[in-house]
Structure 1
Amino acid sequence: MNKFLLVLILVFVFGLNSANAQNFSTHQVKEGETIEAIAKRYFVTPFDIYSLNPDAKKGLKPNTILIIPISKSKPPKTTITKELQGFKTHKTKRKETLFGISQQYDVSQDDLKKYNKFLYANTLKKGDKLQIPIFKITEVVEENEATKTYTVLPKEGKWRIAYKFGITLEELEILNPEMGDVLKEGQEILVPNMEDEDTKEVDEQYSYYKVLPKEGFYRLKLKLGLDQEQLESLNPSLKELGLKKGMILKIPYSNLANGIIQADSNRINLADSISDFSTKNIVVMLPFRLNRVDFSTEDDTKNSVKKDPYLNVSLDFHSGVLMAIDSLKTLGVSLKVDVHDTKYQVSEVSKIIDDNDFENVDAVIGPLTPASFKKAASELRKYNIPIISPIGKNLQLHDNVFQSRPSDDLLKSKIVNFVRTDTLASNIVIISDSKHEDVSNSLKREFNYAKQVYSNKNKKSGEDEFFVTKEDIETNIMPGNNIVFLETKNGGFASNVTSILASLIQEENKEEEKEKIDIILVTTNNNSAFESSEVSNEHLSKLQFHFATTSKTYTDNDAFVKKYKSLYNITPDKSAVKGFDLTMDVVLRLVSSEDLYSSVTKAPLTEYVENKFAYKKKLFGGYYNDTVYLVKYDDLTIVEVKQ
């Protein structure tokens, strides 16, 4: 190794150890000790200990040394008592000192003098017989918990509380595994048991930044334009704690989008903001096509439902609407809800509007199909009635139209921004089939240093054969971090590429001279190809497959899901959840603002079971949902990527 480089490494290592020595203590594990008992003793959480001692997760072995972080919480008071049990006799040898004997028997020099009073007037001599006291030592630690209960304040989100108590978002979530994605005013959670004067307050004049995985001061300098000294002056605890993933840093106010949290950017929980208890009139238009259902027998009815996809979707969506109505009633909201069957006919939409009084309607949800929705939006425009599309995209946005489904362009920009923000030191590869060459080229313009790989074509016909070889990909993968875009709608091609990529991931092996290779798979368009039976979910998990989506995956523990299953004996599908989420959002916006239009500025971001809504208005036109989720495969499940 280059000697100059070796010196630099040693300077860095010793400098790091010197700077951080004061932040940690050590503990020698005793027989039978548990991680919980050790954490309680040092006033930290088990997570704190595991983060510095990952091998401890496999079990504690006696006499091993653990690194213990200095607690952020109030230190416990410890009282030590000594009870005399008896004496040992010690005959002084030549050159022995009182200090040496005190060290040998682990007693103080004062105690030796106390029980050998001649030592007060005389020096120690060879042959002196000393009484060595034997004490029973009892250490009493005042019961004082490492955490305390904290009541969430109005408009207080997770990042605010994490910043306030000097912990990361992950640490807050580990302390409170059941607290949910969105905090409510008055909710009680656990936080470090710190003195009030040691907590920090969010300053509205600043922006805040959440530290991403593997980010150091150099990378933050490139991204934020702030060097280590500047960051430490704004965040003094950095000098002691160092950078940690999920840590919230105060930074000067910034208009940058990626990773920056504005102090006023919390999601709004509209259930806590209800101010209008007058009855709201909602209209729901769905293509049930009940005129096509054969009601002759029960079996005939069931067959009609099975055969008609529009009826299926409408019934599921309507079941979610009914669940929302029930939930809203428990909040004290008064509703009049009219449901109309559009029969999947534009003429029927006109008939519904002509035959009913819409002047006092507060909002219309639906219709589902594009032509019917376009007709309804146009007809209702003269009444200035807001109409919300549940599933439509690229709609003609009249000034009364709300497009609740985010656009495909927003999905693409979400994943592009993620890659741009989080991969300054990564190698980028773009793999696509011939039908997605335009997408590949547009990504190449975003990342001009990226490498492009295309699927192989038949040499005679020139047609795409939807495959690549291992060599095609391997020559473009580099040691270290790699981000790979895969752009296709072909399941076979997706299977081919993901299996090759998964096989290329490797850990560092110095004996075999192998360098570490990490690969993260992303796509700008997640579609059925990635859900094909040909594609291995294990490969997708190994590749940490990232994509943007309009809705996140809910869990069976969600209150809505539990209630839905108890009522219908089935798990709700996406249509049912969308019916619930959209109805909840529309009605809560109406009862917490003057109307749906004004709610756009009063409630910039709302979130429910599976969907979130952040409407923006076109300069000349209606409103579109401008927020999506970034998710990834993690251990065979799909989880949201917190940014």
Structure 2
Amino acid sequence: MKKKLIIIVILLCSFSVTAQDYKTHKVKEGETIEKIAKQYLVTPFDILALNPDVKKDLKPNTVLIIPRSRVKNEEIPEETTELIGYKTHKVRRKETLFSISQKYGIEVEDIKKYNTALYSKNIRKGDKLQIPRFKKIVNKVKLNNTIKKYKVQPKEGKWRVAYKFGITVPDLEELNPNMNEVLQPGDELNVPNISNNEEKAVDEEFNYYTVLKSEGFMALNRKLGVTQEELEALNPGLKEGGLKLGMVLKVPGNIETTNTLRDVANTNLSANLKNLRAKRIALMLPFSLNKVDVDSVQEAKKMIRANGLLSVSLDFHSGVLMALDSAKQLGISTNLKVLDTRNQIAEISSILDANDFSEYDAVIGPLMPANLERVASKLKSDHIPVVSPLTMPKNLHSNVFQTIPTDELLEQAIINYIKKDSFPRHMVIISDSKHKAISDKLKGEFPSAKQIHSRKDKKGKEAYFIYQQDLENVFQTGTNIVFLETDNEGFASNVISMINGLNMDDQKIVLMTTNKNKAFEGKEISNYHLSNLEFHYPSVNKTISVGSRDNFVKKYMNTYNVSPNKYAVRGFDLTLDLLLRLASGDDLYEASTSDIETEYVENKFRYSKKMFGGYYNEAVYIVKYEDLTIVEAKQ
């Protein structure tokens, strides 16, 4: 009788699966629930709900029931590896299992697996390790159902789209490798092919949070003040599937969830110095000394004035030297090697061929993106950090540190700044057609804002002006925030002079922009007007005041008899931060987690790691004009 009952249950289950249009998947060696869920664009909870027996033990050849609704119809590269031999590696000074794994492009666990003694002891200089060599085999697997196209709606960013379709942000990025960093209304994306009634709506009464790397329930409780039980109640399926990188969680509406740019208490690295061995740093700058007539002081001065890159390099270098001296007073000694790149790829290739950088702690520079790309690519295999000091790298390789925040981060910083202010205000967005995208983004962030666009001439071309009548009845009693988005000096002058005339005691106007470019610095722009309008903008750095008594400024003036410019200060801040991080951890990677924010004379640094790339600085200032000076705007 018992056997018959079992047969009936199996038949019922079989009928249910067929009726709901599911398919099956045979588990392969090494596969996990998460990997299978990602392949079929479902959540681990979806699989576990249909296959409860595999929660504790997932065995090869187990047949899983998989929902069909989210399966991709494109060919998916499925990569496997096959062991083909070994290579012997002799451990060098400072090397770790992590750096060795990065050098050979394998996992740390792979090294331990074929060197079993490492499970019970640490590596030492001189140890010989057996490094496995694998052959990659790529098979293309084509599945049945299709993804579908989705047009981004106003106010939607990556997290909103990911939440809507029940996937993580990394899943969305993998489906759309060419997706813009900031989504614009009308952008077309690949999304899971789920029915409309399966799409999750974003409830504006709640806030939403994107899970960061290695975050667990305890970390979220500390950061957000919400318990695991509360999260599981708001996010069905979380209890079964657990937290995943990039997962979008619904949280109570009174919780601040901005994690693109967040406030982090400044870290005093000098209070936690534990690695005081001498640091080896290479500095690559385009001095082009082969073109400088060192025998003639006048000719050398003339060359410095005429060559902008040389001038920047000398100023930056002077700041670096000051940083080395400050670090030395803290017990950090540095072996600095200065290399002249001449701003030529051929010269950089010669430098790379002539020098062994495998024992260096970091390389600062080169300045120009193409040259830095050459150095970063070459040193990537040795996992040597390459720091881009003044420009945006062409590619954010895993060993690259991008110290300049992106335009997207700058934009988000001033948006977050306004959102933190609880005082009522009226919003106006003025832009030319070239900057319509950012105007629309601001409108999405502040739906009640009024948009005004520059006028066009009789031929329909941009005329870069607005009439006084365009501003009639626009401003209200109280605080009015005006965003001006343009790179045209004439248009900026036209708008700024008009709104300054409308700035009154009972009708206060505060001018802001997401991108403070040369249009706001031209001869036609009045600094009196900017100061009167308390002009706010996001900035990579703040500006030290004239006559500052900062120790660095005083020491620099005593050494060089001039005040340090922004490049000298940048050289000091960046280099001192680099040395302090190296002295507070085993290497720069360990000392550059996103919970460490440092601040110096004019610059601050907080690094986040791109999922499949390097590190980028996300620390941004909001500054403003006040009494004809530029100061940090604090709330």
TM over 0.5: yes
For 1:401, the aligned partner's letter is V
Q: Which has the larger radius of gyration?
A: 1
Match of 2:380 in 1: 381
Partner Cα distance (2:594, 2:455) in 1: 53
Contact persistence 2:410–2:514 (CA under 8 A): yes
Partner Cα distance (1:349, 1:411) in 2: 32
Residue 285 in structure 1 maps to residue 284 in structure 2 = yes
Partner Cα distance (1:206, 1:597) in 2: 24
Cα drift, residue 446 of structure 1: 2.1
Cα drift, residue 255 of structure 1: 5.2
Residue 480 in structure 1 maps to residue 478 in structure 2 = yes
Match of 1:326 in 2: 325
Measured at CA, do residues 286 and 632 of structure 1 come closer, stay the same or move farther in structure 2, by a change above 3 Å? Answer: same
Cα drift, residue 359 of structure 1: 1.5
Gaps of 5+ in 1: 1-203, 210-250, 508-515
* Matched residue SS, 2:593: helix
Deviations 1:280-308 (A, max 9, x none): 10000001111122335221111111111
Match of 2:257 in 1: 256
Gaps of 5+ in 2: 1-219, 226-251
For 2:381, the aligned partner's letter is K
For 1:257, the aligned partner's letter is T
Measured at CA, do residues 595 and 371 of structure 1 come closer, stay the same or move farther in structure 2, by a change above 3 Å? Answer: same
Partner Cα distance (2:423, 2:371) in 1: 47
Decide which of 495, 498, 501 is 1:500's aligned counterpart: 498
Choose 486-495 or 592-601, whichever is displaced more: 486-495
Match of 2:206 in 1: none
Choose 392-401 or 304-313, whichever is displaced more: 392-401
Alignment RMSD: 2.5
Measured at CA, do residues 411 and 474 of structure 1 come closer, stay the same or move farther in structure 2, by a change above 3 Å? Answer: same
Partner Cα distance (1:490, 1:551) in 2: 23
Decide which of 485, 504, 511 is 1:521's aligned counterpart: 511
Partner Cα distance (2:511, 2:315) in 1: 33
Contact persistence 2:370–2:394 (CA under 8 A): no
Cα drift, residue 632 of structure 1: 1.1
Cα drift, residue 462 of structure 1: 2.6
Match of 2:487 in 1: 489
Contact persistence 1:362–1:385 (CA under 8 A): yes
* Matched residue SS, 1:642: coil
Partner Cα distance (2:256, 2:224) in 1: 11
Partner Cα distance (1:613, 1:259) in 2: 15
Measured at CA, do residues 543 and 407 of structure 1 come closer, stay the same or move farther in structure 2, by a change above 3 Å? Answer: same
Cα drift, residue 332 of structure 1: 1.4
TM-score (norm 2): 0.58
Measured at CA, do residues 624 and 207 of structure 1 come closer, stay the same or move farther in structure 2, by a change above 3 Å? Answer: closer
Cα drift, residue 596 of structure 1: 0.2
Identity score, percent: 49
Residue 586 in structure 1 maps to residue 578 in structure 2 = yes
Contact persistence 2:283–2:363 (CA under 8 A): yes
Partner Cα distance (1:603, 1:279) in 2: 26
Cα drift, residue 395 of structure 1: 3.6
Contact persistence 2:261–2:412 (CA under 8 A): no
Contact persistence 1:205–1:253 (CA under 8 A): no
Match of 1:601 in 2: 593
Measured at CA, do residues 336 and 618 of structure 1 come closer, stay the same or move farther in structure 2, by a change above 3 Å? Answer: same
Partner Cα distance (1:259, 1:403) in 2: 16
Contact persistence 1:374–1:396 (CA under 8 A): yes
Contact persistence 1:377–1:387 (CA under 8 A): yes
Partner Cα distance (2:392, 2:327) in 1: 28
For 1:576, the aligned partner's letter is A
Deviations 1:189-241 (A, max 9, x none): xxxxxxxxxxxxxxx987799xxxxxxxxxxxxxxxxxxxxxxxxxxxxxxxx
Contact persistence 1:207–1:253 (CA under 8 A): no
Match of 1:114 in 2: none
Choose 417-426 or 311-320, whichever is displaced more: 417-426
* Matched residue SS, 2:437: helix
Match of 1:537 in 2: 527
How does 1:457-468 map onto structure 2 within 5 Å? 457-459=456-458, 461-468=459-466
Partner Cα distance (1:394, 1:501) in 2: 38
How does 1:352-371 map onto structure 2 within 5 Å? 352-371=351-370
Partner Cα distance (1:356, 1:396) in 2: 23
For 2:258, the aligned partner's letter is A
Contact persistence 1:521–1:543 (CA under 8 A): yes
Measured at CA, do residues 601 and 629 of structure 1 come closer, stay the same or move farther in structure 2, by a change above 3 Å? Answer: same
Cα drift, residue 442 of structure 1: 2.3
Partner Cα distance (1:253, 1:379) in 2: 48
Partner Cα distance (2:384, 2:446) in 1: 44
Contact persistence 1:406–1:625 (CA under 8 A): yes
Match of 2:71 in 1: none
Contact persistence 1:208–1:260 (CA under 8 A): no
Match of 1:469 in 2: 467
Contact persistence 2:261–2:409 (CA under 8 A): no
TM-score (norm 1): 0.58
Partner Cα distance (2:456, 2:554) in 1: 50
Partner Cα distance (2:428, 2:374) in 1: 45
Partner Cα distance (2:515, 2:477) in 1: 27
Measured at CA, do residues 391 and 636 of structure 1 come closer, stay the same or move farther in structure 2, by a change above 3 Å? Answer: same
Contact persistence 2:372–2:393 (CA under 8 A): no
Measured at CA, do residues 254 and 433 of structure 1 come closer, stay the same or move farther in structure 2, by a change above 3 Å? Answer: closer
* Matched residue SS, 1:579: helix
Match of 1:315 in 2: 314
Partner Cα distance (1:270, 1:423) in 2: 34
